[in-house]
Amino acid sequence: MRDLTQGSIPKHLISLAVPIGIGMLFQMLYVLIDLYFVSRLGDAAIAGVGAAGNLQFLVMAMSQVLAVGGMALIAQACGRKDAGDANRVFNQSLLLAVLAALATLIAGYAFSGAYMRTIAADAASAAAGVAYLHAFLPGLALQFALATLGAALRGTGISKPTMLVQIVTVVLNAILAPVLIAGWLTGRAFGVAGAGWASSISIAVGVALMLLYFARLEHFVGVDARELRPQPPVWRRILAIGLPPGGEFALMFVFMGVTYWCLRGLGTDAQAGYGIGMRVMQAIFLPIMAIAFAVAPVAGQNVGAGRGDRVLATLRSAALIGSAAMFALTLLCQWQPQWFMRPFADNAQAAEVATGFLRIVSWNFVASGLIFTCSGMFQALGNTRPALYASASRLLTFALPAIWLSQHPGFELRQLWLLSVATTVLQALTVLWLLRRELRVRLSQIGAAV
C-alpha cells in the first residue's frame, strides 16, 4: 500500500496518473490496432466493428460498477489503515466479477445479432459486427476481472503493475492482429473475427498476469477463499458507490447508439467516420482520464483519513492540470485534426467525416475534462449519484433533440456535432454545481471550508 495522505498532492496525482495514462494508452491501442487492420477490409467492416465496439461501452459500464465501488472502498479503508475491510471488499468484488462475466457471455451470444441488425446501416455491416462480437465476447467477459484487479491496486495507491500488464497485452494483440485478421505468416485470414480473437486472447493473458502479481507480490489485499463466500452487505456497499458510475458509462453507450441510429440514413461512410472519430477522441482523452482515475484514490484515502484540506487540494490540482492539458489538445485539433486521421487515409470519405467531427467536438474538451475530474471526486466522497444525474440530463438535451433533427430534411452531420458540444458544456456546469454542494455537506464533517 502507498500512503497518499502525506506528501505533495500534485506529485501523488502525477505519479499515479502517468502509469495509468500509459496503461490506458496501450489499452486504447487494442481498438486502434484492430481498426487499422480492419480498415483494409472496407467500409462495411469498419462500420460493423465500430458499431459493435459500442457494445464495449456497455461492458465497461458494468465493469466500472465493480471497479469504482471496490476502488473507492479500498482507498477509504487504506486511509483508515483497515486491511481487513479492504480484503473483504476486494474478494467480494472478484466474486461479482465472475458472476458478471458469465452473464455477459450468455447475453452476448443470445442477443448480438439482434443488436447489430438494429443499429447497422446495412446487412454487410451487421454481419461484420456479429462476426467481431462473437470472437470478442470472451475478452469482454474477462474485462470484469481485469478492471476489478486493476482498480484494487489503484485504491491502494499503486498503478505501475497494471500499466506493465496492459503493455504486455497490447504488444501481444499487435502481434496477433495481423496474423489473425490478415493471415500474415499463416495464410489463413479470419477477417473481422480475427480482430476479436486477438483481443480476447490478449485480455486472457492480462488477467493471468494480474492474478500472478496478486499471488506473489501484493500484500495489503489478496485472494482469500474465506472471503469469497457471498456477503450481500458488502455487495450493497460496492453497488451503492459503483452503480451510478456504471450508469454514466451505460449512458455513453446510449448516446453513441443514438448517434449511430441518427447516421443510418447518411450511409456507411458517415457511420465509419464517426466510429473512427470516436476512437481517436477516446485516445485524445487519455490524459484527462488518467488524471481523473488518479483523483479518486488520492482524494479517497484522504477522505478516509479525515483530511478535508487535502481533499480540496486534490480537486484544485486535478482541475488545473486537466484543464491545461485539454486546452492544449483543443488547439491541436483546431490546427491539424487531419493529423490524427493519417492511419485511416485509405478510407478518404470516412476520414473526412472523422476530421470534421474532431474539429467541432474538440471545443468541448475542457468541459469534458472537468466532468471526468468531478466524477473522480464523487467516487472519492462515496456519493456518485450526482454525477449520474448530470449525465442523465443529456437524455433530454442531446438524445431527444438528435433524434428529432435526424428526421428532418436537410439534416447534416455538423448539426449533430454542434449539439454535442453545447450539451457537454451544459453538463459540465451542472456537475460542477452539484460537486460544490456535495463538498459543502461532506467536508463540513471533517473541517474544511469550500
CA distance 266 to 259: 11
Instruction: Determine which of 35-44, 70-79, 329-338, 401-410 has the lowest per-residue pLDDT on average.
Output: 35-44
CA distance 363 to 356: 12
pLDDT band at 346 (very low <50, low <70, confident <90, very high): low
**Once rounded to an integer, what is the mean pLDDT over residues 263-274?**
78
CA distance 104 to 126: 20
pTM for the whole structure: 0.75
CA distance 311 to 302: 6
CA distance 145 to 266: 39
CB 117 within 8 A of CB 126: yes
Residues 324-337 as b or e (16 or more Cβ within 10 Å = b): ebbeebbebbeeeb
User: What value does the mean pLDDT of the chain take?
Assistant: 83
Q: What's the half-sphere exposure (Cβ side, CA atoms, 13 Å) at 191?
A: 15
Residue 51 has pLDDT above 70, yes or no: no
Q: What is the DSSP letter of 187?
A: S
Q: What's the half-sphere exposure (Cβ side, CA atoms, 13 Å) at 384?
A: 29
How high is the pLDDT of residue 357? 87
Whole-Å CA distances, 94 to 66, 149, 158, 164, 231: 8, 8, 18, 21, 12
More confident residue, 234 or 37: 234
CB 45 within 8 A of CB 272: no
Residue 448 has pLDDT above 60, yes or no: no
Residue linked to cell 470484469: 144
Residue 246 has pLDDT above 60, yes or no: yes
- Grid coordinates representing 99 are 458472476
Residue 425 has pLDDT above 70, yes or no: yes
Residue 58 has pLDDT above 80, yes or no: no
pLDDT band at 52 (very low <50, low <70, confident <90, very high): low
pLDDT band at 121 (very low <50, low <70, confident <90, very high): low
pLDDT band at 1 (very low <50, low <70, confident <90, very high): low
How high is the pLDDT of residue 286? 79
pLDDT above 90: percentage of residues in the chain: 22
Residue linked to cell 489503484: 154
CA distance 113 to 116: 5
